[in-house]
Amino acid sequence: MDVFVIGGSGLVGSNIVDLATKRDVTVQATYHRSPTDRTDMQLDKTNAERTASVLRDVDPDVVVDTAAFHAVDDCENERTRAWAVNAAGTRNAAVAADNVDAHYIYLSTDYVFPGAPAEAPYTEDDPVSPLNYYARTKYAGEQAAQIAATATVLRPSVIYGITSDNFVTWALNELDAGNELDIVDDQVSTPTYAPDLADACLEIAERDLTGLYHAAGPKNLSRYEFTVTLAEVCGYDPGLVSPISTEALGQEAPRPADSSLDSSRLYEALDYTFTRPRQAFQKLHNDRNN
């Protein structure tokens, strides 16, 4: 199986490359602006001609598209860029993958749901209703992904790990410096450990699973609870973490109050469950200190 990762310098992409390499799976990966030791070539998927040309040259069995403009607040103010990457760029990648008969795997987001606490956790059969422009573009990406005859759409939630910048690496750096953190306590999700999501992508490819799946962690908790647990497991003073409301924080884009996902359909298909945050934090703490 030949795997081609769009966005190999990012958190999920880099984990896919690492895991594929360990499994002796042939893998190539792209970067957009910053090459890494995990990437092979530059690609901006908003360039349809270049995307098609690269896919023709590589001719992979599987394309995993992890590339996105995912700065939620910035998407509100940079709508042209957000649409170009997350919607139109995804269409370019899906068409290019379909033209070489590759299985196209696209990563979406839990933010496609409105986040009413009474409605969560959401299943794949629940209706979407994005609250912000980022989520609107990612849902448009879901629809574009289905251009490919063989396509899988995955919805993760708050992806975290240590191979690339993300909320967890930011929080750990702040805690390292002894800084106090104000973290929202009224945004609930099902955080997703990046190595689990990478593993799922490869298993989906191996098993030829298509369709829509929620691909998030098994534990729903607020961002504040998540960060307190991180501090506890990694040996920091949890008292450095204080709760704050979304209103007081004043984020540009509206967020769902509870976008927790029910990922049991994927767990049953793969016959395993993603890692809970406390256990994942212990793994990344060990990795960080070795």
Residue 245 and residue 182: Cα distance in Å, rounded?
Answer: 9
Residue 290 and residue 285: Cα distance in Å, rounded?
Answer: 9
In 3D space, the residue among 186, 195, 211, 207 whose CA is nearest the CA of residue 270 turns out to be: 207
Whether residue 182 contacts residue 242, with contact meaning beta carbons closer than 8 Å, is answered with yes
Query: Exposed, middle or buried: residue 22 (CB in 10 Å: 0-12, 13-18, 19+)?
Result: exposed
What are the structure tokens assigned to 54, written together?
A: 């690269």
Query: Exposed, middle or buried: residue 194 (CB in 10 Å: 0-12, 13-18, 19+)?
Result: buried
Choosing from 122, 134, 193, 224, which is the catalytic residue? Answer: 134
Residue 289 and residue 270: Cα distance in Å, rounded?
Answer: 31
Residue 236 annotated among the catalytic residues of the structure: no
Q: Mapping DSSP to helix (H, G, I), strand (E, B) and coil, where does residue 234 land? A: coil
Q: What is the DSSP letter of 208?
A: T
Residues recognised as catalytic = 134
